[in-house]
Structure 1
Amino acid sequence: MWRKMPLLMTALMFGYAFLYGPIASLIVYSFNENRLVTVWSGFSTKWYAELLQNDQILGAAWLSVKIASVNASLAVILGTLAALALVRYKRFKGRQVMETMVTAPLVMPEVIIGLSLLLLFVAMERVLGWPEGRGQLTITIAHVTFSMAYVAVVVQSRLAHMDQSLEEAALDLGAKPRKVFFAITLPLITPALVAGWLLAFTLSMDDLVVASFVSGPGATTLPMVVYSSVRLGVSPQINALATIIVVTVSIAVAVAGVLMYRKEKRGL
């Protein structure tokens, strides 16, 4: 066992270097004075100042945050309802079809999802007059379509392994099903709901393919702006933007870890 430790540590270090080395390089070069991101010429924070004055990137970032927040909230609601139907109601007409439709976005290529939703929106606008054009609304609907599948899987796993004796005891004592859900079931599945919300938020912020199909001239998300900028050459402002995102996510993960540790410590 001990003889294998150096080999395991070496493999571990290579793995971490492979995963986080490019991110570390990106952060370092975000403070590069030179416009060329591969040539170091001195320390400078001017790209962060220029980033804060770039209305296109800031507007796209704010739009992506709004879409991701609405998408995550709606995906949690719809995904939780789907998970409850699949777990708590074992047999009902159309269950197999519903289960297939819920899990289909998990394995379906994003190109197919984006193209099919674009055709759907065009047909709906022609027949119903809604939605008018493509923009923030169509992007949000498209993101909810595939995000709720991920939330449903997370919540379904939690519900399947949850002890139902507490719910049955509350029902035996005269509590109404609605009271049981909000007082017992909902608090027990809260970690899964939070995980599903964060997952849906991340998927929306990261999406490029689907948003490219269903967006319009007045709605450009952050991944679309970054992709169009990188095609013409990596700008130091993109490095600065990526650094801000990495730092923000790292702080959020650290705070969540501390809160979870304190909660576990109180439980002990």
Structure 2
Amino acid sequence: MRSRFSWFNATAITLGFAFLYIPILLLVIYSFNESKLVTVWGGWSTKWYGSLLENQSLKDAAWVTIRVAFLSATVATALGTLAAITLVRLGRFPGRTLFSGMIFAPLVMPEVITGLSLLLLFVALDLDRGFWTITIAHITFTMCFAAVVVQARLADFDKSVEEAAMDLGATPVNTFFQVTLPIIAPSVISAWLLSFTLSLDDLVIASFTTGPGATTLPMKIYSQVRLGVTPEINAISTILIGIVTLGVLIAAYFSKRSAEREDQERRRAFGAVG
């Protein structure tokens, strides 16, 4: 049944998108403001982006954020892929409910609870909080998102391709790396990009698990905003918005590519049967 167009639906959608995106658009526009006063328009200028290059504290925070995001996304994607394979391929093994619950708990758990529990864990283990504790924390809460993305692809995976490879003499390990992984690669890349994006803009969990010398960019922005918004904050926030948007677009591209590849595989299978 097709839904009918109505002015009420159009108005509701317009107001919803305006509520979400007009503040972001204003932030981007005022990042090019000539004036030092963020509420007074003084003409177009890119000088605040240039001044970011001279702000060593922001550059240090950005470098920490990128390193944490890269490492946590890589490890989380690897662990999430293994978890997805376990859930899809091993069937109803003993402890499956507990295992899946532990994997997907961070999806529904408030970030404050996750951050506090990790903080208590690090204190109990007597670990010095810093770069590595933030990385471990980000691996913990991004792994579940990676597992969801890869699991969705494996659920519709055609196992006959793997069976054909093993019938030709390939070992299970070779089958995975030469057959399975190339087919699910777009989903794995999408999972990595999603994990990278989530780690990039995390504030709450990083605030609980950070230590001296490991200030991330969102934490740095938040600490400066408490003293007042500056044009430099608008500029660095615009750069973050651009990076996150690019990551989402690339992930969407790979997801679409994965769906197209799956459709081609089904057509070939139907053609072979016909």
Partner of 1:179: 174
**Paired AA for residue 190 in structure 1:** A
SS at match of 1:4: coil
Deviation at 1:84, TM superposition (A): 0.9
- Alignment CA distance shift 1:181-1:100 (3 Å): same
Q: 2:31, 2:234 within 8 Å by CA — same for their partners in 1? A: yes
Letter in 2 for 1:144: I
Q: Is 2:176 aligned against 1:214?
A: no
Q: Secondary structure at the match of 1:84?
A: helix
Displacement of 1:161 in angstroms is 1.2
What's 1:120 paired with?
A: 121
Between the aligned partners of 2:24 and 2:146, the Cα distance in structure 1 is: 28
1:139 equivalent to 2:96? Answer no
1:166 corresponds to: 161
- Other-structure match for 2:36: 35
- Most deviating of 12-21 and 230-239: 12-21
Separation in structure 2 between the aligned mates of residue 258 and residue 107 of structure 1, nearest angstrom: 27
CA separation in 1, counterparts of 2:241 and 2:221? Answer: 15
Contact 2:190–2:255 under 8 Å retained in 1: no
* Mapping 1:33-182, distance limit 5 Å: 33-125=34-126, 131=127, 133-182=128-177
CA distance 1:256–1:78, shift in 2 (3 Å): closer
Letter in 1 for 2:35: N
Identity %: 57
> Which secondary structure state, in structure 2, belongs to the residue aligned with residue 137 of structure 1?
helix
Farther off after superposition, 88-97 or 255-264: 255-264
Separation in 2 of the partners of 1:144 and 1:186? 21
Q: Could you tell me which residue of structure 1 aligns to residue 272 of structure 2?
A: none
Partner SS, residue 92 of structure 1: coil
Can you give the 5+ residue segments of structure 2 that lack an aligned partner in the other structure?
A: 265-274
Task: Give me the whole-angstrom Cα distance separating, in 2, the residues matched to 1:165 and 1:136.
Answer: 44
Alpha-carbon distance in 1 for matches of 2:73, 2:252: 21
Q: Is the CA contact 2:187–2:254 (under 8 Å) kept in the aligned structure 1?
A: no
User: Displacement of 1:46 after TM fit?
Assistant: 2.4
Q: Secondary structure at the match of 1:189?
A: helix
Q: CA deviation at 1:49?
A: 2.1
Relative to structure 2, which stretch is displaced further, 250-259 or 149-158? 250-259
Aligned with residue 201 of structure 1, among 170, 190, 196:
196
How far residue 197 of structure 1 moved from its aligned partner, in angstroms, is 0.3
Q: How many residues align?
A: 261
| Structure 2 residue 239 is matched with structure 1 residue 244 | yes
In 2 relative to 1, CA 218–109 (structure 1 residues): closer, same or farther, beyond 3 Å? same
Alpha carbons of structure 1 residues 251 and 72: separation in structure 2 relative to 1, 3 Å: closer
Distance in 2 of aligned mates of 1:149 and 1:260: 18
Instruction: Give the TM-score, by structure 2 length.
Output: 0.85
* Pair 102,178 (structure 1): closer, same or farther in 2 beyond 3 Å: same
